[in-house]
Amino acid sequence: MGVLSKRQRVWWTVITVLVLLYALFPVASIAATSFKSSAELNSGQMLPSSPTLANYEQILVGSAQELFLSALRNSIGISLISTVIAVVLATLAAYAIARLDFPGKRLILTTALGVSIFPVISIVTPLFNLWRTIGLYDTWPGLIIPYLSLTLPISIWTLAAFFRQIPWELEQAAQVDGATPFQAFRKAIVPLAAPGVFTTALIAFFIAWNDFVYGISLTSTSAARPVPAALAFFTGASQFEEPAGAISAAAVIVTIPVVVLVLLFQRQIVSGLTQGAVKG
């Protein structure tokens, strides 16, 4: 494409504005709700006429603080741990799939595909029953383990696709040049593999962070309840209070990290998502 004509420039401006509106309007909408005072909630207008931080106070330092902050802690901890476990296991598996020739390679990839389309609710009932028997109900491990069913398959696919593109000959080349096997691996391969591993971790974290079904089915108190489930069960400070403002404020807070990560790593996320799905 060369220089745009005036008409094309107008077109592109219009299209860009439309896409931005599509993508960001609902986010703006809930952000607007989060700044409304309880008196203004039913004004029938999108924007608050006198924005207030009362809702944020309520969930961060006020009456709902304990509820929200413990959910935040649970969400961050559980999502991070299950992401790390999934990425470590997937790195080993993807390395084997990309570099070695062994019977059962296809079986592992097919299994990962099968697990990723699994209806989550189908395994919630048996887990609910089992967890209550063995005491994992409403605990961190009780969520970390089922989260692996969400994070592991996609990690295996994405990493296998990334690792297939690494020129593994570099390792031999480095050894020919006199590096020890460990040095060769660390200096030639790790820098090439690291971005793929990081991107995979990011996508896996998004998926774990997003979970709702396991979160509401396998927890009952703030001991392990993650943010999405806590939001669903959140009621106002008193029964006369509409919780919409507080829920919106909490929603905005948990959306901020997502938006920041997307801003920083949009290129990697896009390549990671499309890598695992289609020949990149």
Q: Which of residues 200-239 bind another protein (CB under 8 A)?
A: 206, 209-210, 212-213, 216-217, 227-228, 231-232
178 or 240: whose CB is closer to another protein?
Answer: 240
Q: How far apart are CA 150 and CA 207, in angstroms?
A: 7
Q: How far apart are CA 248 and CA 55, in angstroms?
A: 8
Q: How far apart are CA 53 and CA 254, in angstroms?
A: 16
Binding map of another protein across residues 51-90, x = CB under 8 A, - = no contact = --------------------------------------xx
* Token pair in block for residue 109: 């990839």
* Token pair in block for residue 267: 């290129």
Q: Which of residues 131-190 bind another protein (CB under 8 A)?
A: 145-146, 148-149, 152-153, 156-157, 161, 164-165
177 or 240: whose CB is closer to another protein?
Answer: 240
The residue within the footprint of another protein, chosen from 54, 80, 109, 192 (CB under 8 A), is 109
The least CB distance from residue 178 to another protein, in Å, is 25
**Region of 16-24, 57-65, 66-74, 182-190 interacting with another protein (CB under 8 A):** 16-24
* Token pair in block for residue 238: 């008193």
**Binding of another protein by 101 (CB under 8 A):** yes
- Short-list 261, 148, 258, 268, CA closest to 199: 268
Opening angle at CA 155, ends 100 and 70, nearest 5:
145
The answer to whether residues 205 and 228 touch, using CB atoms and an 8 Å cutoff, is no
The least CB distance from residue 10 to another protein, in Å, is 14
64 or 178: whose CB is closer to another protein?
Answer: 64
103 or 178: whose CB is closer to another protein?
Answer: 103
178 or 199: whose CB is closer to another protein?
Answer: 199
81 or 258: whose CB is closer to another protein?
Answer: 258
How many residues in the chain? 280
Q: How far apart are CA 217 and CA 223, in angstroms?
A: 14
53 or 264: whose CB is closer to another protein?
Answer: 264
Interface with another protein: number of residues (CB under 8 A): 103
In angstroms and rounded to an integer, the radius of gyration of the C-alpha atoms of the chain is: 23
The answer to whether residues 114 and 157 touch, using CB atoms and an 8 Å cutoff, is no
**Region of 56-64, 65-73, 174-182, 250-258 interacting with another protein (CB under 8 A):** 250-258
Interacting residues of 18 by C-beta distance below 8 A, sequence separation 6+: none
The least CB distance from residue 58 to another protein, in Å, is 16
